[in-house]
Amino acid sequence: MRNGNYNQTLNAGAQKTQSRRNLMSWLLTAPALIWLILFFLVPYFIVVIYSFLTPDIYDVQFEFSLEAYRQALNLQYLSTFFQSFRLAALTTLLCILLGFPVAYYIARAKDKVKNTLLVFIIIPFWTNLIIRIFSWRIFLSYNGVLNDLLMRSGLINQPLEIMRTDLAVLLVMVYVYLPYMILPLYSVLEKLDFTLLHAAMDLGANEIKAFFRITLPLAAEGIFAGSLLVFIPALGAYLIPQLVGNQRSLYLGQVITYKIKNIPRNWPMASALSLTLLVFVAILLVALFALYKRSKKLRRV
Amino acid sequence: MEEIRIENLTKDFDGFLAVDDVSLSINSGELFSFLGPSGCGKTTLLRMIAGFEIPAKGKILIGNTDITDLPPYKRQVNTIFQNYSLFPHMTVFDNVAFGLRIRKTPKLQIIERVKEMLSLVKMEDQANKYPDQISGGQKQRIAIVRALINQPKVLLLDEPLAALDLKLRQHMLIELMNIHDAVGITFIYVTHDQGEAMSISDRVAVMNHGKIVQSGPPDDIYERPASIFSAYFIGETNLITGEVIGIEENYVQLKCPDGAGNSLELDSTFNFPPYLGQELTLSLRPEKIAISRSKPRYQDDINVLKGTIEDILYLGSHTQYIVRVGALKFRVFSQHKRVYFDDKALDWDEPVWLFWHDTDSWLINQIPENVLSFNELADGGVNHYQRSSKRPYQA
């Protein structure tokens, strides 16, 4: 009996500490939770509601309508979606191709050099994005630095029309998003055991085979993470196409902005386009994640 | 029969000579070890044979082909790396099949060969596991067959057992020997562990400061060390310097100052021509010395010294005595066999007799240059020259 009592008091005590701990963790997470609900979930909810309403000149009429979604899925907007997807995909691909050698080099460099190089990767973040885009405008423009250099070196006779083309958009996109690719790649390559490459070469693989059979599969996680970090923001890019692109080929971010900026405003349309993009991305992510999980699962037979 | 020939091989890292003008040849089917302390250049030498380091000077030949400038993947040489370097993203099967797949071997043949290899190390049922799902000893086995499946002419092993614990190490050592017997190719084994090198090798090359100090069969190196370094690095030894005062056909008489004003007259065997008055070092293994309270009855061909026990270390299989003779200290190993032993165990500060046969000591044509480098080698050992002893514990 005494023993039972003792156990009971022990349990009661444990429960008390447990509930106190629960309360503490709730209190600690509360600020972030409230912040997210107020400034993330509520606005998103408003967007969802607006997408089902009828547009008015400045605002919306509270009248249910599916018109916005019907329009969002017609050919004109689908081609905009395609345009944005293509840009994001190309940006991601170029970032992988350019970022991999850089990340590899940094990962293999000596500690001192490594840190210096990493600082160089991070330095662009210290300057405002708009300033950096404007400096690209100066660099790429008709009478700009690039054309001047090419003319002087005698490679071309006529200045190139790069500014305000899709090429310019792609160039600046890659420039802006490259660090987001390099950093996750660096983090996986840094952990890579380079004696594995020696082992592969020892077993008869030349440098190229060793790369494709050892380095690349082991860096897959970094490529995946980097691609997410580049692809998703690149899909909704607004600033870069707006500042260095042209108005003939609009990207999704621009179209959404114009729906709200230009009068008559079309809030439902802008909301519907945003949500359609969200759904596309979500489907893509779920598919990619399933693929990734399956490859992991295959490893654990 | 010669498989590998190394000629004047030299390698430096920013002026530091890692391998210094090494020449040797290794026979076909031999199990050859490079033994030396860390930084002696043994791993660099191995990496040059594998093709991961480019020699500054010299040549490496396999058979009659010069492979000095070939990249690793064009050499008929495979390596077992210290941490095995199994590919973590591939199954055991894929790891073993790697070399064959690179060479575009037909699929059926790959399956057959991999199975054959896995059965060699009794790992057939682990084929679908990943390296992080198998034990250290199993990884070791997979690393070995992953290399052997390519049918190399030479297998290089870079401290292959360093990552395993003691019991497993002993077990794998025997398994390595069995594999060597089964496949019959040349093994080159690099280790800092004298026990490993002595027990499995046909021949051992002792290395220090980038040079081969001595090479030969293990017993030759142990019993007849050619230099102070090999005497001291392999096993344990007592080293005494002295002057030649008599030369007979089979032995040399040496006058050794005991540091306390007296001289010991010791006889020893040799294999080089000494001359009267020459300063030499005598190497005497601790297990060759008998220790007793009473003076030995027969003294023909026996060296006899009287000393005092200064330290006793019980080590299980044997006891180590440190016996002071004048200012010299002798290390003596005595096994616990009642038949040969005094009835009562020896005690601290007890006067004892040390004796050994003339042919059990060995003369080295060298005198220690500096006591310091000597102490570095003798980790915790006794120095016979100046170091004063500290008792580890009081009886």
B384 within some domain: no
Q: Would residue B395 count as lying in a domain?
A: no
Which residue among B223, B255, B273 closes a domain? B223
Query: Which of B223, B258, B275 is the endpoint of a domain?
Result: B223
CATH code at B305?
2.40.50.100
Give the orientation angle of helix A216-235 with respect to helix A166-191, to 10 degrees.
Answer: 140
Rounded distance between C-alpha atoms, residue A108 and residue B142, angstroms: 28
C-alpha dihedral over A51, A56, A61, A64, to 10 degrees? -40
Residue range of the domain that includes B371: 236-377
Q: Are residues B93 and B218 in the same domain?
A: yes
Flag whether pLDDT at B327 surpasses 90: no
Same-domain status, A256 and A146: yes
Residues B292 and B180 in one domain: no
Q: Using CB atoms, which residue from B50, B89, B147 is nearest to A218? A: B89
Q: What is the pLDDT of residue A98?
A: 97
- Mean pLDDT across chain B: 86
Looking at the structure, tell me whether residues B40 and B127 fall in a common domain: yes
Task: Kindly determine whether residue B71 and residue A200, on different chains, have CB atoms separated by under 8 Å.
Answer: no
Q: Is residue B230 a part of any domain in this protein?
A: no
- The mean pLDDT of chain A is 90
Whether the ipTM is more than 0.85: the answer is no
Q: Is A301 on the interface with B (CB under 8 A)?
A: yes
**B361, B303 in Cβ contact below 8 A?**
yes
How many domains, chain A?
2
pTM of the model: 0.80
DSSP element (H, E) containing A155? none
Share of chain B above pLDDT 70, in %: 91
Q: Which of A30, A34, A52 is nearest to A276 (CA)?
A: A52
Q: In angstroms, what separates the C-alpha of A286 from chain B's closest C-alpha? A: 23
pLDDT digits (tens, 9 = 90+) for A96-140: 999 999 999 999 999 999 999 999 999 988 999 999 999 999 999
A contacts of B85 (beta carbons < 8 Å):
193, 195-196, 198-199
Residues A144 and A113 in one domain: yes
Q: How confident is the model at residue B178 (pLDDT cuts 50, 70, 90)?
A: very high
| Residue B85 touches chain A, beta carbons under 8 Å | yes
Instruction: Specify whether B186 is located in the same domain as B250.
Output: no
Q: Is A151 in the same domain as A277? A: yes
- If you count them, how many residues does chain A have? 301
Instruction: List, in sequence order, the alpha helices (H) in B90-165.
Output: 92-102, 107-120, 136-148
Distance from CA of B87 to the nearest CA of A (A): 7
Q: What is the rounded average pLDDT of the residues B28-44?
A: 93
Strand (E) or helix (H) holding B285: none
**What pLDDT was estimated at residue B265?**
83
d(CA B186, CA B46): 13
Question: Three-state DSSP class for B351?
Answer: strand
What sign for the dihedral angle of Cα A17, A23, A24, A26? Answer: positive
Task: Give the lowest-confidence range in B5-14, B64-73, B292-301.
Answer: B292-301
Chain B contact probe: residue of A188, A197, A203 with most B CBs at under 10 A: A203
Interface of A with B in 163-202 (CB under 8 A): 193, 195-196, 198-202
Contacts of B89 in chain A (CB under 8 A): 217-218, 299
Task: Say if residue A173 is in the same domain as residue A287.
Answer: yes
Q: State how far Cα B84 lies from the chain centre.
A: 22
Domain C-terminal end among A12, A29, A51: A51
Q: Is there a single domain that holds both residue B170 and residue B297?
A: no
Domain assignment present for B299? yes
Partners of B280 in the β-ladder: B242
B54 and B165 in a common domain: yes
Please, what sign has the CA dihedral across residues A45, A49, A52, A54?
negative
Q: Note whether residue B385 is domain-resident.
A: no
Is B393 domain-assigned?
A: no
Are B146 and B203 within one domain? yes
Characterize the bridge pairing of strands B302-314 and B279-284. unpaired
Selection from B302, B300, B305, B289 nearest residue B340 by Cα: B289
- DSSP letters for B165-230: -HHHHHHHHHHHHHHHHHH--EEEEEES-HHHHHHH-SEEEEEETTEEEEEE-HHHHHHS-SSHHH
B297 CB within 8 Å of a chain A CB: no
What is the rounded CA–CA span in Å between residue B213 and residue A187? 44
Q: How far apart are the first and last CA of chain B?
A: 58
For residue B18, pLDDT beyond 50: yes
- B202 & B242 share domain: no
Residue A56: inside a domain, yes or no? no
Quickly state the pLDDT bin for A277 (edges 50, 70, 90).
Answer: very high
From chain B residues 96-155, the ones with a CB under 8 A of any chain A CB are: 98-99, 102-103, 128, 130, 146-147, 150
A69-83, A263-277, B207-221, B256-270: least confident range: B256-270
Q: Nearest chain A Cα to B127, which residue?
A: A301
pLDDT above 90 covers what percent of chain B?
Answer: 54
Contacts of B129 (CB under 8 A, 6+ apart): B91, B92
- The CATH number linked to A211 is 1.10.3720.10
* CATH code where residue B216 lies: 3.40.50.300
How confident is residue B251, by pLDDT bands cut at 50, 70 and 90?
confident
In a domain, residue B100? The reply is yes
Cα(A237)–Cα(A227) distance, rounded to whole angstroms? 15
Residue B150 has its nearest CB partner, among A195, A203, A299, at A203
Q: Is some CB atom of chain B closer than 8 A to the CB atom of A217?
A: yes
* DSSP secondary structure of A213-265: IIIHHHHHHHHHHHHHHHHHHHHT--HHHHHHS-SSS--HHHHHHHHHHSSSP
Is there a single domain that holds both residue B121 and residue B30?
yes
Pair (B308, B363) in one structural domain: yes
Q: Is the same domain home to A190 and A45?
A: no
Phi, psi of B328, rounded to the nearest 5 degrees:
-80, 155
* Within-domain flag for A246: yes
d(CA A239, CA A235): 12
Query: Average pLDDT for residues B123-146, to the nearest whole number?
Result: 93
On whether both A23 and A79 belong to a single domain, the answer is: no
Domain count, chain B: 2
Say yes or no: B174 and B118 in one domain: yes
A19 and A151 in a single domain? The answer is no
The domain containing residue A137 runs over which residues?
Answer: 61-299
Pairs from B267-272 (Cβ < 8 Å, separation ≥ 24): B267/B301, B267/B303, B267/B358, B267/B361, B268/B358, B268/B361, B268/B362, B268/B363, B269/B358, B269/B359, B269/B361, B269/B362, B269/B363, B270/B362, B270/B363, B271/B224, B272/B363, B272/B365
Q: CB-hemisphere CA count at 13 Å for B96?
A: 31
Are the Cβ atoms of A201 and B128 closer than 8 angstroms? no
Task: Say how far apart CA B282 and CA B242 lie, in whole Å.
Answer: 8
Same domain, B209 and B243: no
Q: How far apart are CA A249 and CA A168, in angstroms?
A: 13
Is the separation of the CB atoms in B290 and B356 below 8 Å?
Answer: yes
Q: Which of B81, B91, B128 is facing A195, going by the closest CB pair?
A: B81
My answer on whether A80 and A182 are in the same domain is: yes
Amino acid at B201: S
Last residue of a domain, one of A10, A25, A51: A51
Contacts of B344 (CB under 8 A, 6+ apart): none
